[in-house]
Structure 1
Amino acid sequence: MERTEIDAMRYIPLADFLARLGHEPVRRSGNELWYRAPYRNERTPSFRVNVAKQLWYDFGLGKGGDIFTLAGEFARSEDFIEQVKFITETANMPMPVPEVSRPTFLPKPSEPAFEGVEAVPLLHSPLTEYLAGRGIPYAVASRYCCRLNYGVRGKRYFAVGFPNVSGGYEIRSRFFKGCVPPKDVSPVKVEGSSAGVCSVFEGFMDFLSAATLGLETGDCLVLNSVANVEKAMKHLDGYGRIDCYLDRDEAGQRTLETLKRHYGERVCDRSALYDGCKDLNEYLQLTKKKRNEQ
């Protein structure tokens, strides 16, 4: 590629690039713009753009980078040529002329770094009050979750932590939704359960909701992101039936279809249980509200 043309792409403001794709920030804080992740569905903004450094970071997926890696998320490709092609089409720029050698000057994202991560028991606290507000009782939450203490840029924070198979954590609080990398799936083995059935959930709030409702009668697998569906398959291959409690939205439907293509009739869509709700946690909250009103 012509270096000058690649440099020109790198200096396209990320906010302008996202605006061309139809995405505007939800809020601004200093040099940081916060978005709802533009390539997946979410309600709480966890996608940050640093306008000074021209870097992005998705706290929900635990990954980030520059305009090229962002284009890769949209194009669903780690191939640099495909990323450049997506940028040229979005920004209405001419496609650079290929060179023999591959460019080696892409900056590596250097933020954010979680410091002093410490997992401790989830005792009664504002965190458990937050979970109770979402319909999750302490008895269920304390069985599967921890309190995660961590630092970012010298400041200390705490959140509900839910571990994954690679040593990372999904973290939630009333004010924050994200993950301590690495991002991965979370298998949950239930003692004495039927080895032939596994229930699949998109996020751990839905899994905790299922446990609250008494639905987790067999082994379970929490994707922690629909982007992890390929990682999930090695954990699902041995099951004769796969019950899916996925979100009732486009991303959830795509994930269901991906699993059906791979496993065929072994996949059962259980989302009719919460028809009219976005996900299982919303259904749990609605169910508890109706009971309290009776």
Structure 2
Amino acid sequence: DFLARLGHEPVRRSGNELWYIAPYRGERTPSFRVNVAKQLWYDFGLGKGGDIFTLAGEFLQSNDFMEQAKFIAEAANMTVTGWEKPAYLPKPTEPVFEDVEVIPLLRSPLTDYLAERGIPIVIASRHCCRLNYGMRGKRYFAVGFPNMAGGYEVRSRYFKGCIPPKSISLVKANDIPTGECLVFEGFMDFLSVVTLGITGNADCLVLNSLANVEKAAGLLDGYGRIGCFLDRDEAGRRTLAALVGRYGERVTDRSSLYDGCKDLNEYLQLTTKNKKTTI
């Protein structure tokens, strides 16, 4: 996540290991490895490695722990009172998607991945597509979820990103106006609620990023009831508070459904697993 916020995405994955083009020096062959299980990195080109703090130190060329911590906090958009901004913070760069092809989502390793997350193909294929695209001279494929600006949220077992422009997604229940809208942070949670069959006749709005709350405001103004299925973390609570501040009693927190889980998809996976165990 730290590397992604700085604009660096893995070139390939092997088990628990992600391989990158070294993020702080030039090279053609990826020699920078991250072990996601151990949360450690190693640069074979330099013969150095460590944890997230030592990695921040490589960017800063500093062994000062507080400077490293400040750098990580800035990359994560954390506001920490009394800290000055680090002297150097690389500007995040979005990955460049080339020759994007949008085709129907049929049975494939992508639908197997979604099934592992509790999403059946009949629901996934209704709301998602398959994206074939190039990046840095190589071809990839992923699940695509369209937004209202013509962009796509991109997700696979190994990649999470967005084909710009970034925006919200609105899924209408039908052509008849409805008085209720359900709000989700990401499309996996939206697919989860459809799988659980609890949308009723409500429209569904997917933020695709909590930074898109303001973009959603104009659409939500027309609904008398707003049900929120946001993540049960600090960012989700802040977003819920912002919506309550704007819409008051029209907003209902629906996260009690997945109490004990981080989000709705985690709850769906747990529910699916329990059903299989019972059977």
TM-score (norm 2): 0.71
Corresponding residue for 2:84? 89
Corresponding residue for 1:167? 150
The answer on 1:188 being equivalent to 2:179 is no
| Alignment partner of 2:261 out of 271, 277, 281 | 277
Corresponding residue for 2:134? 151
**Deviation digits for residues 126-146 of structure 1 (CA, Å, limit 9, x no counterpart):** 000000000000000000000
Residues 1:30 and 1:116: Cα distance change in structure 2 (over 3 Å)? closer
Q: Residue 102 of structure 2 aligns to a residue in which SS?
A: strand
TM-score (norm 1): 0.67
* CA distance, structure 1, for counterparts of residue 76 and residue 195 of structure 2: 38
Give the drift of 1:208.
0.1
Residues 202 and 224, structure 1, Cα contact 8 Å, conserved in 2: yes
Residues 1:160 and 1:289: Cα distance change in structure 2 (over 3 Å)? same
| Alignment partner of 2:162 out of 179, 185, 200 | 179
Residues 1:289 and 1:110: Cα distance change in structure 2 (over 3 Å)? closer
The answer on 1:209 being equivalent to 2:192 is yes
Q: CA RMSD in A?
A: 3.4
* CA distance, structure 1, for counterparts of residue 92 and residue 183 of structure 2: 32
Gaps in structure 2 of 5+ consecutive residues: 7-16, 24-31, 37-54, 61-70
The answer on 1:244 being equivalent to 2:235 is no
Give the drift of 1:53.
10
* CA distance, structure 2, for counterparts of residue 108 and residue 276 of structure 1: 36
**AA aligned opposite 2:236:** G
Residues 1:171 and 1:89: Cα distance change in structure 2 (over 3 Å)? same
Q: Residue 89 of structure 1 aligns to a residue in which SS?
A: coil
* CA distance, structure 2, for counterparts of residue 236 and residue 211 of structure 1: 20
**Deviation digits for residues 166-186 of structure 1 (CA, Å, limit 9, x no counterpart):** 111111111111111111100
Give the drift of 1:112.
2.7
What is the number of equivalent residue pairs in this alignment? 224
* CA distance, structure 2, for counterparts of residue 279 and residue 235 of structure 1: 24
Residues 31 and 51, structure 1, Cα contact 8 Å, conserved in 2: no
Give the drift of 1:30.
3.6
Residues 1:120 and 1:90: Cα distance change in structure 2 (over 3 Å)? same
Over 3 Å off, 4+ runs:
49-54, 70-75, 107-111
Q: Residue 118 of structure 1 aligns to a residue in which SS?
A: strand
* CA distance, structure 1, for counterparts of residue 257 and residue 57 of structure 2: 43
Give the drift of 1:118.
1.4
Give the drift of 1:153.
1.4
**AA aligned opposite 2:212:** N
Gaps in structure 1 of 5+ consecutive residues: 1-13, 19-25, 37-48, 55-66, 76-85, 94-106
Aligned identity (percent) is: 62
Residues 1:53 and 1:147: Cα distance change in structure 2 (over 3 Å)? farther
